[in-house]
């Protein structure tokens, strides 16, 4: 990696440090990106998360520990059309295989292109000749092409954090070919898994007629070559595992252990999103208690589901459905001193989640489709090596490719989920340790710092 090349990271939202030193204290993706930016005196550009009456073109900048954050506000129309509209009501459901929820509206598509154009217009003057640029996620797919149209010749990479759907689904998107052609203006494309990469390469070969080399990931179309590879993201191992000794983590662990009254705690932690399979998960738990009603005194399920995208109607609907299903299970199975399901509609700190994970002997991670899913990895990272819990994981999560020693399930099948819960509840400690030792290796060594370094190494290569 060139020592001179400054790094410019672009994402929909920016993790703006609240105070000096705050960036270094962050875990996960934000922490890893901040570390890379700090090493290279970089710039992080994106939306501030704030709405303005009109687009002024004004950039808000601040520099902390050598990292400059540069943010712009968006108008209410921009947020409605680009963010709530095309990004989260069209691309998000389609890329998670939910054609039934994807909305194809001409105006939101125009809004998406307009905001990407504005990002390019505002970002362009900030890019210096030797910079390398790293664009993140589905909100900003056309940004590289928009920068190229302004004469930017720097190395530009793009990473997609969510799945890439099969060609037969993706072609339902109006102007799908135009969107993918914009991607081929990046020098390097990153996907979470080989499966998502293969789907993208298949589209380029069959729909665009591009020359594709599966061995190297090179895609050549109309004289331009782009490299596409899989880079599975990991957790910040040092940061997350270090939370074990914090007061918040220990307090959270004891709080959960004391409240479960010797019952086995099973936990799920997910954003409130239909891709996470939460209604289906509750159906599986209901099936388990139907099969083993006496085990209501052995197991308590805690579902933590912070709300997200509350302006989008489908998210309002899923919240109501979850509350209904949790209420039905509790209504049928509760006793005066036992409630089988605790549904918590709020978020917790990373340290508190570490404590909850450590106290829970079953981790239930069952998305219907997920680019990776770091909750699965965090759950394993939090376990006691002498008495580890069991991870139940959807085979449709990207993490399943790396975590074969978990109990892999079909999240659409209540019977499969019920069987896995029973297996996990009765699994002997020797088998739990064997599975844990295999899982912890990939969690520890395939971490977010390696992911960052691997992508930037390839992006920096000529």
Catalytic entry in 187, 270, 273, 370 = 370
Whole-number CA gyration radius for the chain: 23
Q: Where are the beta strands (DSSP E) in 90-205?
A: 132-136, 155-159, 188-191
Contact 340, 333 (CB under 8 A): yes
Tokens at 345, concatenated: 């509609």
- For residue 130, the 8-state DSSP code is T
Tokens at 244, concatenated: 């074990």
| Rounded Cα distance, 314 and 235, in Å | 29
**Phi, psi angles (nearest 5°) of residue 61:** -125, 150
Bridge partners (DSSP) of residue 189 are 158, 228
| Rounded Cα distance, 313 and 310, in Å | 7
**419 a catalytic residue:** no
Burial class from Cβ neighbours inside 10 Å (0-12, 13-18, 19+) for residue 126 reads middle
Region of residue 11 (left: phi > 0; alpha: psi -120 to 50; beta: else)? beta
SS3 102: coil
**370 a catalytic residue:** yes
Beta pairing, strands 211-213 & 218-221:
antiparallel
3-state secondary structure 128-164: CCCCEEEEECHHHCCHHHHHHCCCCCCEEEEECCCCC
Tokens at 325, concatenated: 């299903």
Burial 76-112 (b: 16+ CB within 10 A, else e): ebbbbbbbbbbbbbbbbbbbbbbeebbeeeeebbebb
Hunting for tokens 């990004």 — which residue is that? 87
Name the strand (E) or helix (H) holding 11.
strand 7-13
**Phi, psi angles (nearest 5°) of residue 191:** -125, 155
| Rounded Cα distance, 112 and 368, in Å | 26
**What distance lies between CA 325 and its chain's CA centroid?**
25
Catalytic entry in 80, 124, 161, 450 = 161
Q: Which of 10, 33, 1, 2 is nearest to 152 (CA)?
A: 10
| Rounded Cα distance, 440 and 386, in Å | 13
Residues that are catalytic: 161, 370
């Amino acid at each position: 990696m060139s020592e001179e090349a400054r790094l410019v990271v672009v994402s929909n939202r920016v993790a703006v440090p609240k105070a000096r030193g705050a960036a270094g204290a962050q875990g996960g993706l934000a922490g890893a990106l901040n570390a890379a930016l700090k090493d290279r005196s970089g710039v992080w550009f994106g939306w501030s998360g704030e709405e303005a009456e009109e687009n002024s073109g004004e950039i808000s900048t601040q520099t902390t520990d050598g990292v400059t954050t540069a943010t712009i506000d968006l108008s209410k129309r921009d947020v409605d059309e680009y963010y709530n509209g095309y990004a989260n009501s069209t691309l998000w459901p389609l890329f998670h295989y939910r054609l039934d929820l994807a909305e194809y509206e001409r105006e939101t598509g125009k809004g998406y292109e307009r905001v990407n154009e504005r990002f390019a217009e505002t970002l362009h003057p900030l890019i210096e000749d030797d910079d390398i640029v790293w664009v993140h996620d589905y909100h900003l797919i056309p940004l590289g092409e928009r920068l190229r149209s302004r004469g930017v010749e720097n190395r530009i990479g793009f990473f997609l954090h969510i799945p890439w759907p099969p060609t037969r689904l993706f072609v339902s998107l109006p102007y799908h070919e135009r969107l993918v052609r914009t991607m081929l203006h990046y020098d390097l494309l990153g996907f979470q898994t080989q499966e998502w990469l293969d789907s993208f390469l298949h589209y380029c070969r069959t729909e665009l007629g591009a020359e594709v080399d599966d061995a190297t990931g090179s895609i050549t179309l109309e004289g331009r070559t782009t490299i596409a590879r899989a880079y599975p993201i990991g957790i910040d191992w040092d940061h997350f595992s270090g939370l074990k000794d914090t007061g918040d983590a220990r307090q959270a662990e004891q709080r959960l252990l004391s409240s479960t009254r010797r019952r086995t705690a099973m936990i799920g932690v997910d954003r409130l999103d239909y891709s996470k399979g939460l209604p289906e998960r509750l159906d599986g738990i209901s099936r388990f208690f139907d099969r083993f009603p006496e085990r209501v005194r052995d197991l308590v399920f805690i579902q933590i589901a912070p709300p997200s995208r509350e302006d989008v109607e489908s998210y309002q609907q899923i919240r109501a459905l979850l509350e209904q299903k949790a209420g039905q299970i509790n209504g049928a199975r509760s006793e005066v001193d036992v409630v089988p399901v605790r549904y918590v509609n709020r978020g917790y700190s990373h340290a508190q989640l570490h404590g909850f994970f450590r106290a829970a002997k079953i981790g239930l991670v069952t998305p219907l489709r997920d680019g990776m899913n770091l909750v699965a990895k965090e759950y394993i990272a939090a376990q006691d090596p002498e008495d580890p819990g069991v991870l139940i994981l959807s085979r449709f999560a990207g993490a399943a490719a790396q975590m074969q020693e978990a109990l892999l399930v079909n999240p659409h099948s209540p019977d499969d989920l019920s069987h896995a819960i029973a297996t996990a509840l009765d699994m002997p400690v020797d088998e739990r340790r064997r599975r844990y030792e295999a899982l912890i290796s990939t969690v520890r060594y395939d971490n977010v710092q390696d992911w960052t370094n691997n992508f930037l190494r390839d992006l920096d290569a000529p």
